[in-house]
A and B are shown apart, each in its own frame.
Chain A
Amino acid sequence: MLEISDLHVARGRSDVLQGLSLTAQPGAVTVILGPNGSGKSTLVQAASGALPYRGRIALQGHEIAKTPAWRLAALRAVLEQSNSVAFPFTVAEVVGMGLHAGIEADHPEIVSAALAEVGLSDLAHRPIQSLSGGQQARAHLARVRAQVWQPVSHAGPRWLLVDEPVASLDIAHQLEVMAILRRFADAGGGVVAVMHDLNLSAQLADEMVLMREGRIEAHGPPEAVMRGPILSRTYGCELQVGAAASDGLWVLPQFARPA
């Protein structure tokens, strides 16, 4: 379980997060939504141990600020919004770094399995810098997956904290990445994902956390959060929500053509 209570995170002089409390369960995908600057990324960065904070963040009972980096690395992997690699490491080498960070370092076959999962097996030995932006994003997802390959270890559920995992991908690859996150949660792992696309989020999320100005506006299953008035108020624009014929919900922004 990821337990956050009375969390304050400062950036510069002002508090970006002001007394935020939240619980996320393993075995489910928790999607964090909100307008730009609402504190989504700050929340995930604090939960991954990258930012100093006041309050409490506990992942599987470990207080983040007091847990050494190597122990956290066995417990959770973090995919950041943007990733760059300084030297011409191959794709397989980068994924291998993720593997060595976890507890399955003596299973090198996980590297090829992780690459197969994101569909990059053919590019394993190419320098990662020579790949397209979308391919690089998938390679970094493979690295993160390799770090917590088994969603549940002997010590309990493991976690994926991912910040905009589908941002740079085409629609087919967005769905593939969502499927990877879904499978991880279904196998018992915990997933916390920052997303921008409301429609994709509605299909991925078990729990939705809607943030605005460092606070939680709404929290619950998609049916409870994906409501026109709530979304319109949070994002500050007209958003219409409907039920899809297949299943689930869709969001349609109401574009007011300038007169």
Chain B
Amino acid sequence: MAMTSLALLVAIRSPCAPLRLGLIALLVIAAALSLGTGAAGVSLPQVLGQCLTGAEISTRDRVVLLDIRLPRLVMGLMVGAALAVAGAVMQGLFRNPLADPGIIGVGAGAGLGAVAMIVLSGFLPAAIAAFFGTWLVPVAAFGGAWTATLLLYRVASRSGQVSIATLLLAGIALAALAGALTGILTYLADDTQLRDLTFWGMGSLAGASDMKLLVGGLLIGPALILTPRLARGLNALALGEATAAHMGHDIERLKHRAVIGVAALAGAAVAMAGGIGFVGIVVPHLLRIAGGPDHKTLLVDAALLGAALLVLADLIARLVVAPAELPIGIVTAILGAPVFLWILIRRQGLGGV
């Protein structure tokens, strides 16, 4: 429950809005439900009761809770927080609430990097492959996400203004290109790799290994801690690049840091859990409605709500077809896509996109 205690720490440090407290409560409930639910039928209250009374906990219960459910929960928290914050930062950077790493091709870029590593790592000299090991995939995904975000920003911004039409179209082109290259790699892949790729593409929190959590955490943790420092700059950027510069912000530095932050968060999330869409767009949007657009609160709240919602989505993915499970990307798409459409409909009242 490291994430929860971190959340509590954040809450104590900053003046506590009711929204923040509600989000923390939601996160705790989601985490408890996730730990207490599963095919093995181990009950969390029962185990906690045994802990309190000092009774012996069976090896089976311990293995199910600590080795199966806990890593999966931690991965869900990390990936959910990373996706939501990546979305919020990207929307601030592009000055548009519809920018989302998954929609405009950054996820595809990260995916290409990751797939390239899964398929091609066999061609690397054995010494290098052994040295990087599990690191290769997240680092390649980070590289792919970073390249895609930079490319998008170059293409879509003209003298400081970002055209959302250009952005979305460039994102489609980028995703198509990344998809085609991924296709070539898929063609090269052997049977085991193919299976990995297919399920990975639909997103899943299964297969959370300690190594995966460590590597992902090393990208996501610092990025989550550092992105709130961009808050004031992102707020100013809402008034346009020129105005933000007039108000004393070093725009180039701000953009670089935001791009690296998005790449680290989206890249790590994609590398760990595959294609999980709509978290990055739905979470910040709901929070702007509930608590306003100020990035000083938005970036922290997005981490909390993103983590909670992804854990709940994973719970749904595990429950609906139990004892099998749905890929979580399907759950977030079924729930998230209608919200995305709803945002579009609402925005038409404000003068369109």
Instruction: Give the interface of A toward B (CB within 8 A).
Output: 45, 48-50, 68-74, 77-78, 80, 83-90, 93-94, 97-98, 100-101, 129, 147
Within 8 A of A (CB), among B232-267: 232, 235-240, 242-243, 245-251
Pick from A77, A84, A89: contact of B294, CB under 8 Å: A89
Counting CB contacts under 8 A, is B133 at the interface?
A: no
Q: Please state if A74 and B248 are interface contacts (CB–CB under 8 Å).
A: yes
Q: Please state if B246 and A48 are interface contacts (CB–CB under 8 Å).
A: yes
A-B contact pairs, 20 of them (CB 8 A): A45-B242, A69-B250, A70-B249, A71-B248, A74-B248, A78-B243, A78-B246, A83-B240, A85-B239, A86-B239, A87-B95, A87-B238, A87-B288, A89-B235, A89-B293, A93-B235, A100-B232, A100-B247, A129-B350, A147-B247
Q: In the complex where A86-B238, A97-B235 touch, is A50 in contact with B246 (Cβ < 8 A)?
A: yes
Counting CB contacts under 8 A, is B22 at the interface?
A: no
Q: Which residue of B lies closest to A84 (CB)?
A: B240
Q: In the complex where A83-B240, A100-B232 touch, is A88 in contact with B292 (Cβ < 8 A)?
A: yes
Pick from A49, A83, A89, A90: contact of B243, CB under 8 Å: A83
User: Which residues of A are found within 8 Å of B250, using beta-carbon distances?
Assistant: 68-70
Q: Which residue of A lies closest to B162 (CB)?
A: A86
User: Which residues of A are found within 8 Å of B245, using beta-carbon distances?
Assistant: 49-50, 69
A93 CA / B236 CA spacing, docked (Å): 10
| Whole-angstrom distance between the Cβ of B219 and the nearest chain A Cβ | 27
Counting CB contacts under 8 A, is B121 at the interface?
A: no
Q: Please state if B294 and A88 are interface contacts (CB–CB under 8 Å).
A: no
Within 8 A of A (CB), among B291-342: 292-294
A202 CA / B134 CA spacing, docked (Å): 72
A98 CA / B248 CA spacing, docked (Å): 10
Q: Please state if B246 and A73 are interface contacts (CB–CB under 8 Å).
A: yes
User: Which residues of B are found within 8 Å of A97, using beta-carbon distances?
Assistant: 235-236, 239, 247
Instruction: Give the interface of B toward A (CB within 8 A).
Output: 95-97, 232, 235-240, 242-243, 245-251, 288, 292-294, 350
Q: Please state if A90 and B238 are interface contacts (CB–CB under 8 Å).
A: no
A131 CA / B245 CA spacing, docked (Å): 24
Q: Please state if A80 and B242 are interface contacts (CB–CB under 8 Å).
A: yes
Q: Please state if A69 and B235 are interface contacts (CB–CB under 8 Å).
A: no
Q: Please state if A72 and B248 are interface contacts (CB–CB under 8 Å).
A: yes
| Whole-angstrom distance between the Cβ of A10 and the nearest chain B Cβ | 14
Pick from B235, B239, B249: contact of A83, CB under 8 Å: B239
Pick from A73, A88, A90: contact of B247, CB under 8 Å: A73
User: Which residues of B are found within 8 Å of A77, using beta-carbon distances?
Assistant: 246
A87 CA / B251 CA spacing, docked (Å): 18
User: Which residues of B are found within 8 Å of A85, using beta-carbon distances?
Assistant: 238-239
Q: Please state if A88 and B288 are interface contacts (CB–CB under 8 Å).
A: yes
User: Which residues of A are found within 8 Å of B239, using beta-carbon distances?
Assistant: 83-86, 94, 97
User: Which residues of B are found within 8 Å of A45, using beta-carbon distances?
Assistant: 242
